[in-house]
Amino acid sequence: MSVQRVETVVIVGVGLIGGSFALAAKRAGRVGRVIGVGRSEKNLRRALELGVIDEASQDVAAACSAADLVLVATPVGQMARVFDAIAPVLPAHAIVTDAGSTKGDVVALMRAHLPSHLARCVPAHPIAGSDLSGAAAAQYGLYENRKVVITPLVETAPDAAELVAELWRACGANVHQMGPDEHDAVFATVSHLPHLLAFAYVGMVADKPDAVRCFDFAATGFRDFTRIAGSHPEMWRDISLANRDALLAELARYRANLDALTRLVEAGAADELNDFFEHAREARVAWHQRFLRNS
């Protein structure tokens, strides 16, 4: 099924995620003009220079009053105030979607702040990104062969969900549907927990008295384990708060596994240590093969 062109798209938060969507959707010929809304004038100027957006605005309500589709791609902690600001001005037909990394909170915020617009609300999450941020990090191919998870509300009109899905497909992505709770549990395990671990580990190294010496000798293993500790602190603060319960459960599970590993090292249990590493290695190798096949 081919999708119609969306004439006016407003991207609220023109960073890595919103900017990459704008670039890919424009290249696919699926959108007319893109208005970028942001809180940083410098970032909006850069987005204009790079052709990520066609127009810039710092007035979210004014920009959205003429929107056919609004993509909110700010940190999730900003979404309440964005939904609140646009609620009185949204055209009745305008679709509101988002790119937030958590979905239970976004669904609740849509219900609280856009109660008369729920048929046009399509919560979504592209499973692609990086540790870079801002409009300058936006790239055309970010969503090629990546997944996007949509968590429609019961009120979401099928045509609105399908239009958002089609736009993401036009950006190269494969679209999946989940409930918000399942989404948040899965991503607590495979995205949110590893980010917290990377932040905790690098912070621990940085606080050691011999940190400079340690960093001097850190190499590719350190680099591969810690890349994501370079990610945007505000984004990860907001995700940690929004997905608190699922994340606390995963932290507890991880701590128990770390305790088990500690006991094996303390006991000098060579065979058990080997089994422990072999179990994880097999799972990682199998996952990586699947990931490469699908990329």
Ligand X SMILES: O=C(O)C(=O)C[C@]1(C(=O)O)C=C[C@@H](O)C=C1
Question: Which CB, 16 or 109, lies closer to ligand NAD?
Answer: 16
Q: Which does 12 bind (CB under 5 to 8 A by kind): ligand NAD, ligand X, none?
A: ligand NAD
Contact indicator for 19, 138 with CB cutoff of 8 Å: yes
Q: Per the structure block, which two tokens stand in for 31? A: 């959108």
Contact track, ligand X, 128-147, x by CB under 6 A:
-xxx----------------
Instruction: Give the H or E element holding residue 280.
Output: helix 270-294
* Burial classification of residue 186, based on how many CB atoms lie within 10 Å of its CB (0-12 exposed, 13-18 middle, 19 or more buried): middle
Mark the segment that binds ligand NAD (CB under 6 A) among 49-57, 75-83, 114-122, 175-183: 75-83
Cα four-point dihedral sign 182, 111, 231, 145? positive
- What is the CB-side half-sphere exposure of residue 284 using CA atoms within 13 A? 6
Q: How far is the CB of 283 from ligand X (least distance, A)?
A: 17
| Neighbour tally for 105: CB within 10 Å | 23
Q: How far is the CB of 228 from ligand X (least distance, A)?
A: 5
Contact indicator for 36, 11 with CB cutoff of 8 Å: yes
Question: Which CB, 51 or 233, lies closer to ligand X?
Answer: 233
Contact track, ligand NAD, 183-222, x by CB under 6 A:
----------------------------------------
Q: Pick the binder of ligand NAD from 14, 90, 110, 170 (CB under 6 A).
A: 14
Q: Per the structure block, which two tokens stand in for 74? A: 């700010």
Residues forming a β-bridge with 95:
69
228 binding ligand X? (CB under 6 A):
yes
Q: Which does 104 bind (CB under 5 to 8 A by kind): ligand NAD, ligand X, none?
A: none
240 binding ligand X? (CB under 6 A):
no
DSSP code of residue 77 = G
Question: Which CB, 20 or 156, lies closer to ligand X?
Answer: 20
Q: How far is the CB of 74 from ligand X (least distance, A)?
A: 13
| Chain center to CA of 116 | 26
Amino acid at 178: M
Q: How far is the CB of 130 from ligand X (least distance, A)?
A: 4
Distance CA 286, CA 189 (A): 17
Q: Pick the binder of ligand NAD from 26, 35, 43, 94 (CB under 6 A).
A: 43
Annotate 206-224 with DSSP letters as a single string.
Answer: HTSTTHHHHHHH--HHHHH
Distance CA 98, CA 76 (A): 9
Q: Pick the binder of ligand NAD from 175, 235, 246, 264 (CB under 6 A).
A: 235
Distance CA 226, CA 248 (A): 21
Q: Pick the binder of ligand X from 65, 191, 226, 240 (CB under 6 A).
A: 191
Q: Pick the binder of ligand NAD from 35, 69, 103, 129 (CB under 6 A).
A: 129
Instruction: Give the H or E element holding residue 262.
Output: helix 244-267
97 binding ligand X? (CB under 6 A):
no
Q: Per the structure block, which two tokens stand in for 134? A: 């801002």
Question: Which CB, 68 or 105, lies closer to ligand X?
Answer: 105
Size of the site for ligand X (CB under 6 A): 8
The residues binding ligand NAD (CB under 6 A) are 12-18, 37-40, 43, 73-76, 78, 81-82, 99-101, 125-126, 129-130, 133-134, 232, 235, 239
The residues binding ligand X (CB under 6 A) are 101, 127, 129-131, 191, 228, 231
